[in-house]
Amino acid sequence: VQLQASGGGLVQAGGSLRLSCAASGRTFSNYIMGWFRQAPGKEREFVAAIYRRGGSTYYTDSVKGRFTISRDNAKNTVYLQMNSLKPEDTAVYYCAADRNLIWSSISTAGEYDYWGQGTQVTVSS
């Protein structure tokens, strides 16, 4: 599956952005989808994930209540709505996909087989 992330940009603290990740090539609904981010000098970290038909979602603690992951299987797209953005949310955001991921491993970057190219999110203070 090929992934194309978009929607990043520059926003002031407290603002909002919605990231999109369009998938092509395989049956999108068969894949667990995740969002990760990587700030300069830091390791890639898990942000959120959503199960195949969207029934289950999971977030890292630092974004709970501010970010929402969702998917539209008819459009082969996963979204990350980011509200109340903080300067520490600044990073390159990546979408990822895996068909055979065990739910307990959804926060592990190395478990995902497919990655998008990343989109930059910059939050100014």
Q: How much is the pLDDT for 102?
A: 87
pLDDT at residue 58, rounded to an integer: 96
As a residue count, the chain comes to: 125
Tens digit of pLDDT for each residue in 46-82?
999 999 987 799 999 999 999 999 999 999 999 999 9
Given a cut of 50, the residues of the chain with pLDDT beneath it are none
The pLDDT, as a whole number, for residue 103 is: 83
pLDDT score for 54: 77
CB crowding 22-37: b at 16 or more within 10 Å, else e: bbeeeebeebbbbbbb
Count Cα neighbours of 109 within 13 Å in the Cβ-side half-sphere: 14
